[in-house]
Amino acid sequence: MTMGPASAPFPIPKPKPSPSSSSSLILLFFFFFFFFFSFPAAAVPSSIYDLLRQHGLPIGIFPKGIADFSADPITGRFKFNLTTPCNADFENQLHYDFNVTGVLSPGQIANLTGVSQQELFLWFPVHRIHVDDPASGLIHFDVGVVHKQFSLSLFENPPDCSAPELPPQPLLLFPSNNKKGPIGSGGVQVGQVDILKRRAAS
């Protein structure tokens, strides 16, 4: 008895994706799309004061009257403009230029430009502001070639800032090739630095 050729197996139809599963995939895609693009925008602070809080610094470091503000959340670099250069009174007088820039990291502002502090009748650039231990109640200013400290309570709120009668001329404390030049031209006299050091020690 002869056997005929084996019949081919009946093809099994593949299941088609249901409309509900396709809708779920579309919704999932839009969810990740929305989350990815909305999260960085929400992380950007709306003001320099919010940025200071995020880094553990008092908001009174900078005055009222900030007209424009920008910050890079990756590098920590920030920039803001004031409506006009101005002075604010703490234990010493601080001057803020029209443009102020710096780099923020937890507990400190480094590479600060546009801020200077008065000592006697001289103005010295503030290069760095930092809070090493919040429990100490102290905030530290690197002013010119010396280190100064103040009570954190002085910087709880942004101060009022008034236009100076005369713009300050900060000293250049790192001499250039013109070692005997006048103040502001690249030179600095030893006596001026001594005044600042004695003032900080007192």
pLDDT (tens digit per residue) in 32-67:
445 444 444 445 578 999 999 999 999 999 999 998
Q: Kindly tell me if the per-residue pLDDT of 74 is higher than 70.
A: yes
| Average pLDDT in the chain | 76
pLDDT at 183 over 50: no
Bridge partner list, 183: 187
Over residues 135-142, mean pLDDT: 96
Of the pLDDT bands very low, low, confident and very high (cuts 50, 70, 90), residue 192 is very low
CA-to-CA dists, residue 164 to 86, 88, 109, angstroms? 6, 9, 24
CATH class of 48-201: mainly beta
Answering whether pTM is above 0.85, one says no
Q: How high is the pLDDT of residue 165?
A: 74
d(CA 159, CA 176): 35
Beta-carbon neighbour count of residue 160 at 10 Å?
11
- Rounded Cα gap, residues 97 and 101, in angstroms: 10
Provide the pLDDT for residue 92.
Answer: 87
Question: What average pLDDT does this structure show over 60-81?
Answer: 95
